[in-house]
A and B are shown apart, each in its own frame.
Chain A
Amino acid sequence: MTITGDSADNRAVVAAGDLATIFGSTIEGLYIENTELFQAAAHSFTRQVLLSGQIAPTLDAENLASAVFCIGRKALRQFSQSLVKNGMNSTTRSLRVSIDVALATACTEQGPWNIAVIGNAISVAELPKYIDLLTQTVGLAALWTVPKKSQTDRGPIVIIVDQDENLHPMLRFAERYRILDQANPIPITIMILANSIYDLDDREGRLRLALGTSTIESTHITIERSLTTAENTFDFQSTIRKQSPRLVIAQSHTLLTGSATDTSDFELDLPYQLLIVR
């Protein structure tokens, strides 16, 4: 999990713990110190504009380093303690590199399959950046993001499927994730995307075949369909919102299609967590 700023979002920590439980994996916390900040501090004329609106005359590099180091230590300590409360151990380290370098380094050292959790709540405008990060980092299988307004305690898991072969790994994960709380298993919604009704029918049929009989739908999986034609721009946000999901699992390319890349649609924060699969 990568952390910047003051501390990790608790929801992200919980997600990291859940993932570790599902996959039986280790957890590493990476605190990313912003290298650009230190580069800026190296200039003699750099000042700090404080949050109160006052301007501090200097930005002392030593003080900055010390402050960033302390903040990082605190954030990593809180991260570790949160996991320890749930009986999990973790390793932590601080890195003064860019996030992509940090992830690449970590994925190289660990793996071969890694999932990264972005420890800070992200704004929707940052989503494309993280999608890029996923696609470009070797050894990174998926990326878990926690938008600022996301809910974590209610709603189904929604899996967005536009290619048949992508369903099974996402569904397997969803099945394991839904029963983390055995007393309250989470329902699953599979949202099928296609360009035509025929394709939708076809895809749905294969899906039902793969899942078993139609009675599955009456247990914990429901199936939704949506067209993504040019005439019917896939209104990603509103369609998903109607499900009120707590977690959306989608492949990176799915999120990059259609109106999903238009950040103007991302004026409003996503109310669900997002697991982006490579």
Chain B
Amino acid sequence: MVFWRGQRNKDQNEITAPEQTEIPTSSTNRAPEPLSIERLKRVVDPNTLGFKTTDDLTPITGLIGQDRALAAIEFGTEMRAHDYNIFVLGPPASGKHTALKTQLQKKALTSSTPNDWVYVYNFDEPNQPRALRLPTGRARKFAKSMIAAIDELRAVVPSVIESEDYQSRRRAVDSVYEAHHEKALETLTQKAAVNNIAILRTPQGFAMAPMHEGKIVKPETFNALPDSMRAEKQAQIVAFETELAEILRRLPKSEKERRAKVVALNEDVSRAAVTGALDDVIAAFRDVPSIVTHLQAAAVDLVRNIAIFIPTHEQDSGPIREPADTTRDVRYRRYLVNVVVANNSGPDAESNDNGTGAPLIDELNPNYGNLIGRIEHVAQMGTIMTDFLLIKPGALHRANGGYLLLDARKLLTSPFAYDALKRALKSREIRIEQPAEAAGLLAPQSLDPEPIPLNVKVILTGERETFYQLHQLDPDFGGLFKVQADFDDTIQQTTDNQRAFAQILASVVVEHKLRPLTASAVARVIEHGARLADDQDKISIALGIISDVVRESDYWASKNNHSTIEASDVSHAIDTQIQRADRIRDHAQETVERGLILIDTDGGKIGQINGLAVLQIGNFSFGRPNRITARVRMGSGRIVDIEREAKLGGSLHTKGVMILYGFLAGRYAQDFPLALGATLTFEQSYGGVDGDSASSAELYALLSAIAEAPIRQGLAVTGSVNQWGEVQAIGGVNEKIEGFFDICKERGLTGGQGVLIPKSNAQHLMLRDDVISAARSGKFHIYPIAHVDEGIELLTGIVAGTRTSDRTYPTDSLNARIELRLRNLADKAHQFSTPPKS
């Protein structure tokens, strides 16, 4: 370490530093040593894992290290209350959805299977279909029974109608009418004929004319008759017309009577047929009073409307023949059954909608209609029609009595869906209504189905942000989703957990039919897991991402004709994953290499330092150095953050810069004003800056500018700083180090380059092998910094200095220079502010 003594200008009481281009590099009393190689990455020894390949392991299909979340789910599913629904929160691709389903499936299988539900026609209020509950597994049988009953009536009623007994009774009724009507007409016709008057049928009724020998008398012949004869004939015609008119006027009344008698006859005849058809159904469902009540109402209606079972000639020979399938004939729709929920249980179970046990429904598209059901409409004869058979169940119906899984983001982004869910949970019933009706808007008249009681456990899955926002913004949310199942992102890297993690990999191998991984490959994956966790002592359990790595490793293994997945295959998979995503990083590096972005990696500069930032683009993040500069002068004590002034700085960055002022003032300007004017900026940064992870770098640049002590450009810095000068942990430490390393490596490592990181971040290091290799050969160094004094010594080569008992810094220390400079600035400022003596 070389020290130099500045030339004191006794008159000005200033210290001016000599020109300095070389930075001393020997250690001082506070500058730390670089981290040892072992601390740059936690290497997993395959020999400690206790197996050769994953084929030696028992696969685990569940999760590891998620006891808190799994216990919460267990608790939530056990709590029967309607407001103890569950929100499962955690990062995506963490395997929580699969784990959740697995756990719920086990629970559902041991739970009782809920009732079936059907909608039937309401004979009293047709637009309010009735919901009927049936014992499990009997809904479809009920539906089929009704179809069979209708089919029976379709066969029986025509034969009853064609039977000699009915026909003769019907003929008797008709003949009475016909005798009354046609006989009356016939009698009148005959009577008229006797009087030589013909009764003729016209398009609108009847007309009468004089007749002779069966032929109509022509006008000229009639007019030739004597007046008296003509008058008499005309009078007769008038009388017959009057009589005919009277007969015709009586016709509607007698027709009405005839129809009533036919209806009564039909009901009398059909009652036995209807009873016969429905008896079996009633007997089969005698234990369900609501069904029996419905069947009784249906029987009454069937008898009243038995005519629908009597084929007419138009139906036989017309262009539209009656359908052979009962379910497609509009006449019988009201007697059919709409099965909305059919569960499988018991000896009568017809089909299996949900399997045995309670239902577990994973609704992948939770829009309004899919959630609470919908009422469909069909176009018929130019109009839109609907009926109870067009009620379609939603996920709530299918999950009723069991569990419903929903993705929170999808639910919240579907119009009306979230509100509908809350409404259903609060009211504990499923009411199907049009969204327009629910919103109170004018809606076309439709059905108003009877609501179905709801007993369901809803499990929402989503990210943490979503959960916290819902809690904050929706007063209902906390009251309905009282259980949070928080899935962690990582697990501790213990020996047991390493083994468990290996067993997870074994299950991935089995699931995707991959080559087994060797212990070395597993070790490599664990290391990658630690890298993903950004922590040497943890492993990421983002199973989606881990599974992808394993699958891609298998691919590379096949390319390399390996029978097992080797560590090299895993490394290759990781490298190629990065390579596919790092186009932007390469571009960024190229701009530095080509001098478009100015970054120095050797020499020294006053007030200039390499800060480090992390850029995240999609699922790939990388580090990049950024030149930070500071200029100082006499001023009012304000540190101008140019990023903030240009509105490119976020609030966290602003806070970090303000802390620098607190540090400077607190350390150096206790008894004199801080008459410093300083500007800080991120050079060539135009996209916005936030966070305080560069605040220590900014402080170093400031201190360098104040002390006029050059900073080593071969070192980059990351870390936030508090008002005491303590360097605090930051995120993305691995990416930042590697980002600067890549620049230095491209230009040629000098052995004097490296990165200053917060000491507390040392435990997060999982650096690339090329970085470690450079460190091992002494060409690159990572320095753990706990306090800015350590850092400034490394960067400037000047001892920072500690206050002595007389509250002064050692004369040759950097802190002394800084304090002296600031005091000088304060004195000058005072001079400028004092008016000259006259």
Contact = CB atoms under 8 A, between A and B. Distances in A.
A67 B204 contact: yes
Contact of A50 (B205, B216, B219, B237): B205
Interface in A18-66: 34, 36-37, 39-56, 59, 64
B317 A42 contact: no
Contacts of A36: 198, 200, 209, 215-216
A180 B234 CA distance: 55
Interface stretch (B115-123, B242-250, B348-356, B638-646): B242-250
B313 A55 contact: no
Nearest to A9: B313
A192 to B, nearest CB: 25
A47 B103 CA distance: 91
Contacts of B317: 10-11, 14, 152-153
B198 A49 contact: no
A49 B313 contact: no
B316 A85 contact: no
Interface string B183-210: 0000000000000001011111111111
A44 B219 CA distance: 8
B314 interface: yes
Contact of B201 (A34, A54, A268): A34
A45 B218 CA distance: 13
B766 to A, nearest CB: 80
B232 to A, nearest CB: 12
Contacts of A8: none
A59 B237 contact: no
A8 B313 CA distance: 14
B179 to A, nearest CB: 9
A151 B200 CA distance: 29
B241 interface: yes
Size range of the chain A interface in the assembly: 35 or more
B318 A10 contact: yes
Given A5-B201, A49-B207, A42 B218 contact: yes
A64 B241 CA distance: 18
Contacts of B313: 10-11, 151-152
A68 interface: yes
Contact of B203 (A46, A71, A267): A71
Contact of B198 (A40, A45, A85, A153): A40
Interface string A59-82: 100001001100100000000000
Contact of B205 (A49, A71, A152): A49
A55 B245 contact: yes
A39 B209 contact: yes
B316 A153 contact: yes
Interface string A147-172: 00001110000000000000000000
Contacts of B249: 52-53
B246 A53 contact: yes
Contact of B200 (A37, A42, A71, A267): A37
Interface string B148-189: 000000000000000000000001000100000000000000
B836 interface: no
B444 interface: no
A21 B219 CA distance: 47
Interface string A129-158: 000000000000000000000011100000
B748 interface: no
Contact of B245 (A53, A71, A152, A153): A53
B222 interface: yes
A39 B216 contact: yes
A64 B198 contact: no
Contacts of B347: none
A54 B208 contact: no
A68 B203 CA distance: 7
Contacts of A44: 219
A14 B605 CA distance: 109
Contact of B207 (A46, A152, A267, A268): A46
B245 A54 contact: yes
Contact of A41 (B206, B207, B215, B251): B207
A37 B198 CA distance: 10
Given A49-B241, A49-B245, A55-B241, A43 B209 contact: yes
Given A40-B200, A40-B209, A10 B314 contact: yes
Contact of A45 (B171, B203, B234, B251): B234
A78 B498 CA distance: 88
A152 B200 CA distance: 31
Contacts of A67: 202-204
A59 B249 CA distance: 20
Contacts of B204: 48, 50-51, 56, 67
B319 interface: yes
Contacts of A152: 313, 316-317
Interface in B797-811: none
Nearest to B233: A45
Contacts of B210: 43
A40 B216 contact: yes
A39 B251 CA distance: 28
A54 B319 CA distance: 37
Interface string B296-316: 000000000000000001101
A207 B323 CA distance: 42
A4 to B, nearest CB: 9
Contacts of A43: 209-210, 219, 222
22 contacts: A10-B313, A10-B318, A11-B313, A34-B201, A36-B200, A36-B209, A43-B222, A46-B208, A47-B241, A48-B202, A48-B204, A49-B205, A49-B207, A49-B241, A49-B244, A51-B205, A51-B248, A55-B245, A64-B202, A152-B316, A153-B316, A268-B175
Interface of A: 5, 10-11, 14, 34, 36-37, 39-56, 59, 64, 67-68, 71, 85, 151-153, 267-268
Given A40-B207, A43-B209, A47-B207, 9 more contacts: A36-B209, A37-B200, A40-B208, A48-B205, A51-B248, A51-B251, A53-B250, A152-B316, A153-B317
The 7 A-B pairs with the shortest beta carbon distances in the complex, nearest first, are: A53-B249, A40-B209, A39-B216, A50-B205, A53-B248, A67-B203, A49-B206
